[in-house]
Structure 1
């Protein structure tokens, strides 16, 4: 065999199975199906049907949800390497069959198992995220969404899917019903799909925070995230045998200024803990400056401040308990802290 000898095409049945019963016209031609044969197969009442431009469903009747997803991805990538046999691609069999395309929006949330999202069969259109410079038009059943920065997709049932924060932002962009937006955001936190800060970041980048019904849902999202983080904080203290602190208090100098609120305070050791549940909005720098000023003021008074994020509490609770225990044990080696008044908040 010479270097220029073409590789034998894979059997059509094998390629059919690998793409969920849908193929592009280019793939069919590369596997020996002529234009005349394709037209004959796709005749009215024939065994095949065109369900998207240049995308063929290899059986009669309506497509399944899986076939609709594969068809949407094939439509978005039909001019790329998707028609080339895997063994001839630069990255071989490990390359994604759908380069630079992924399911997003409500279809992605349905794949993630969101109960507040419509089921896949109920969706009239499937959103597909592609690079900004791709020249594609949306169709009646596929909505093309362009982005200058493609995220790394997650694989859900062998389908490339946008990360939850991006998928949620794309879904919210198409929704005007405040109740639907609120349900989706609430489930995002309660089901542990991601942190509120990641969602707010995507909504900010998508310029969606100017919409009143989105702002209201974000406030509920942040409150829900804080409540869950506080639950994890209580659990950390209980499960890892830390001394019981005074919860949710304000610190104040006797007869002096307010020093700030903290989520937990151990007065005997002069250790304070604060949950960093800031949502990244346009005033993030100012808010962080406020955090930093409070921390510097407390530490000048001899009070150790331990900051912890909801993500660390959820994924590295034992490590955060160790950090807290170390701060408590180090109290005996420090100079006594200034006396502060502890008030409930």
Structure 2
């Protein structure tokens, strides 16, 4: 028997799908390949190689990036559902089901399309999330990242990948270069991958905000996110034909107290817009109470306040324009608002 001879009734020699060129020992047994034959195929100079414990690459030479990713997932996934081999003669492709294993960190960000991350070929290790109680160790190109709560994976190129905020937190946890951290967080926001609040929430949960270089990057991130949200607010007013407001103002009662700052205000309609850019590092309940008190005070004076989040501006600009337009139109049915002083902020 030579190494070009089929080893089982299933067509292992027809390995056109990357997921079928990387198999576990259990999957090989399901194909009729015993452990002794697997060891023989993986001998020095043989046609196969072992990439990770119990995970084999069914061709010689370096693995591709896709093969490394699949190998890491197969190593980390629970064996009983790590892959479902096709039935003989079914013609169905091999469909792995990576249970309790999710690509994260720099590899995940690269898969999400980040330009600031290294290409997959340049990564010595690939981070993979698993539940905290799983008994696995980091080895070879697989770095195990344990978590008490698995995120809902997003499918990217057919692989389970952590959402951008979680992948960012896991990447930042391994980075000491302040410039690299800043570049990643900035691209996340500028590239429209996620909102600053979601990133800060993950960094907070990962207890990374005690690191000075991370705090500095987060401050820049929040400023960046607010600037982008303000630009989208300007775009909304211009593109959807809303009347021009006065921008970035403070309100005061004549001779009285400061009422608060607003991002946009239509004095003739007594309608205001405020961007809700609360930073998750703060006590959200307390900060929301402050927002609510401010809104209640202004509405007692006859001023309607519309709160808009950066996420809503990014995902539903037309709908937010309709909300503001409705508030402007409804102003004619309200009693006149109290007189207030409008000052530049």
TM over 0.5, shorter chain: yes
The Cα RMSD (Å) is 1.9
8 Å CA contact retained: 1:251, 1:261: yes
For residues 78 and 234 of structure 1, do their structure 2 counterparts lie closer, same or farther at Cα, with a shift above 3 Å needed? same
In the TM superposition, residue 282 of structure 1 has moved relative to its aligned partner by 4.0
For residues 50 and 287 of structure 1, do their structure 2 counterparts lie closer, same or farther at Cα, with a shift above 3 Å needed? same
In structure 2, distance between residues paired with 1:207 and 1:54: 34
In the TM superposition, residue 94 of structure 1 has moved relative to its aligned partner by 12
Map of 1:143 onto structure 2 = 143
In the TM superposition, residue 285 of structure 1 has moved relative to its aligned partner by 2.0
Structure 2 residue 162 is the aligned partner of structure 1 residue 162: yes
8 Å CA contact retained: 1:232, 1:313: yes
- Cα deviation digits, residues 196-234 of structure 1 (max 9, x gap): 111111111111111111111111111111111111100
In structure 1, distance between residues paired with 2:73 and 2:12: 19
Map of 2:256 onto structure 1 = 256
Unpaired runs of 5+ residues, structure 2, are 1-7
8 Å CA contact retained: 1:9, 1:85: no
Map of 2:210 onto structure 1 = 210
Map of 1:99 onto structure 2 = 99
Map of 2:343 onto structure 1 = 343
Map of 1:303 onto structure 2 = 303
Map of 2:43 onto structure 1 = 43
* Partner-residue secondary structure (3-state), 1:103: strand
In structure 1, distance between residues paired with 2:14 and 2:73: 19
Q: What is the TM-score with the length of structure 1 in the denominator?
A: 0.92
8 Å CA contact retained: 2:73, 2:98: yes
In structure 2, distance between residues paired with 1:113 and 1:37: 40
Q: What is the TM-score with the length of structure 2 in the denominator?
A: 0.92
In structure 2, distance between residues paired with 1:317 and 1:94: 42
8 Å CA contact retained: 1:137, 1:144: yes
Between 28-37 and 256-265, the greater mean CA deviation after superposition: 28-37
Structure 2 residue 80 is the aligned partner of structure 1 residue 80: yes
In the TM superposition, residue 284 of structure 1 has moved relative to its aligned partner by 1.9
Map of 2:131 onto structure 1 = 131
In the TM superposition, residue 96 of structure 1 has moved relative to its aligned partner by 5.7
Map of 1:63 onto structure 2 = 63
In structure 2, distance between residues paired with 1:129 and 1:276: 32
Runs of 4+ residues over 6 Å off in structure 1: 92-95
In structure 2, distance between residues paired with 1:283 and 1:267: 32
Unpaired runs of 5+ residues, structure 1, are 1-7
8 Å CA contact retained: 1:271, 1:328: yes
Structure 2 residue 329 is the aligned partner of structure 1 residue 329: yes
* Partner-residue secondary structure (3-state), 2:17: helix
In structure 1, distance between residues paired with 2:343 and 2:46: 78
In structure 2, distance between residues paired with 1:184 and 1:38: 42
8 Å CA contact retained: 1:132, 1:146: yes
For residues 78 and 285 of structure 1, do their structure 2 counterparts lie closer, same or farther at Cα, with a shift above 3 Å needed? closer
